[in-house]
Amino acid sequence: MDGIPLIMKYTLPAEELYKPFWEGLKRGEILGTRCKKCGTLYFPPQKDCPKCMASDMEWMDIGKVGEVMTYSIVLQKPQGFENFSDYTIGIVRTEKGIDLMCWVIGTPKVGAKVFLTSDGQRVLCKVRS
Amino acid sequence: MNRKVGIIGVGMSKFGKRNDVTVRELSWEAVKEAFEDSGLTQRDVQLTVIGSTAYRGTEIYPAPPVSEYCDLIGKSPLRVEAACATGSSAIFTAVNTIASGLVDLALVIGVDKMTEVDTATSLAIGGRGGNYYWEFQMYGTTFPTYYALYATRHMALFGTKEEDMALAAVKAHKYASYNEKAHFRNRITVEDVLKSRVISWPIKLLDSSPISDGASAVILASEEKIRELKIDTPIWIRAIGYGSDTSYIAARGEWVGLNAAREAAYMAYKMSGYSPQDVEYATVHDCFTIAEIMAYEDLGFVEKGKGTSLLREGQTEKGGKIAVNLFGGLKAKGHPLGATGVAMAYEITKQLREEAGPVQHSFKKYVALSHNVGGTGHYAFVSIYSR
Ligand SMILES: [Zn+2]
């Protein structure tokens, strides 16, 4: 017997809060936040600095080049991504020492040098050939 | 711990695709067996802790219907959740309630029905098992992907091969073939694993634990209560260590082992006074084959990067230096998230009591350990038991 369906649809909160990040992505810039008081750089960006309890942050570019730390190619996709072709999720360490998740374009290898870019919706990294 | 706590009754349902029952009947299978095993009844129970992630099943608030069905009304059903470490967090809650002196006897039920939603939905729920905003929403992570990121890095740094990881699956299926309650009882080969469908490279279908339904139950009591009940075979919980790590996997700094598990293990060894060399039997959280290899390393059974050597040399087989997952592990026994940690306590109790039948390990010191990871190392519990 089919159960009564539960259809859930979310509205992402904090649209204003992270607007500079999303706008940066459209320009191909990857922005994190830096605490003006203690200098801690956050990625993903944060509104608050729990290290020094301050909430005075500035937006900052986290770097343009990096290195592939690890990756995986997703063939079995989750609900919501069924219509995408296979994609490669990677973790990249930028020149500024920030580690972030991204989609990898090209044939990855652990240790490969990459350029950070964006498709306007997510961070991409392109393997330097 | 202020008061010693022991396990005095255990039960476990058949794991697998269980659309013959709802979460209530499924729970009762385990609870009934735990009562029969201990010779106790609902009247003896002072507190019920239900470990369930619930989200994949119809009953998203499972504690009330389960406690009603099991005739446990009035025994404070409390539900706890810690993703795949839910069962251990439920035991942790009950143990501490007893150790503190608040109650003398508690029942822990671990249950989940994960097959009630389709695979794509299940993958989406699992993929949110990290940092929704910065992972799932943007990149379409799945739960296998998170472990695949560890596998790729482990392969690159230590030369671990897909064939090595496959050995963990082969071992799991071999032992599950002796376990009537296991989800899968078929034997497989390294070739079968390598040829199976790629889910999130390098993780393939047969590197992965199945989406399962199942329940398990344990009855815990204080030392005083155990004496009063004249129970002569309690299994003592000597230590429960816990650890945690970032939700955003990229922020962990390294991807070859789980910091949370290492912290939990350190705490458990310190609390119990035992070292990795004392452990004769272990249940490890092998949700994916790479997880078993990392567990050997994180628990100190072998140095970092050398986990595959234990598999290749058969040292974690029955009769090996440390027998691991002789009931089939999460990989083949099944992994209904809430039930898993409680099923580990079930398995260890059976082993330490020497009631494990064809897969009975031969103990010298009767020291065993369980390693239960929540999420992709977001939480971990390592517990040490002795007879
Ligand atoms: Zn600060």
The reported pLDDT for the residue numbered A129 is 72
Q: Identify whether the C-beta of residue B154 lies closer than 8 Å to the C-beta of residue B293.
A: yes
CB-CB: which of A78, A103, A111 is closest to B142? A78
**pLDDT per position as a tens digit, B238-247:** 999 999 999 9
- Report in angstroms the alpha-carbon separations of B165 from B61, B141, B206, B294, B354: 37, 21, 10, 10, 30
- Among the listed residues B173, B183, B335, B361, the single catalytic one is B335
Q: Which positions in chain A have a beta carbon within 8 angstroms of at least one beta carbon in chain B?
A: 3, 12, 44, 69-82, 84, 87, 89, 91, 99-103, 109-111, 121-123
As a whole number of angstroms, the distance between CA A67 and CA A97 comes to 10
pLDDT tens per residue across span B164-191: 999 999 999 999 999 999 999 999 999 9
Please give, rounded to a whole number of angstroms, the shortest distance from the CA of B260 to a CA of chain A. 19
Taking a C-beta distance cutoff of 8 angstroms, is the pair B140, A78 a contact?
Answer: yes
pTM for the whole thing?
0.97
Does B273 contact chain A (CB < 8 Å)? no
pLDDT in tens, B96-155: 999 999 999 999 999 999 999 999 899 999 999 999 999 999 999 999 999 999 999 999
pLDDT tens, B354-367? 999 999 999 999 99
In chain A, the residue whose alpha carbon lies closest to the alpha carbon of B123 is A78
pLDDT of B1 higher than 80: no
For A81, the closest of B131, B140, B150 (CB atoms) is B140
Closest residue, chain A, to B157 (C-alpha): A110
pLDDT beneath 50, residues of chain A:
none
Query: Do B360 and B351 contact (CB within 8 A), yes or no?
Result: yes
Give the three-state DSSP class for A102: strand
Give the single-character DSSP code of A16.
Answer: T
**Strand partners of residue B198:** B204
Q: In this model, does residue B2 exceed pLDDT 80? A: no
Bridge partner residues of B161 (DSSP) = none
B84 is annotated as an active-site residue: yes
Identify whether the C-beta of residue B67 lies closer than 8 Å to the C-beta of residue B73: yes
Percent of chain B at pLDDT exceeding 70? 100
B287 counts as catalytic: no
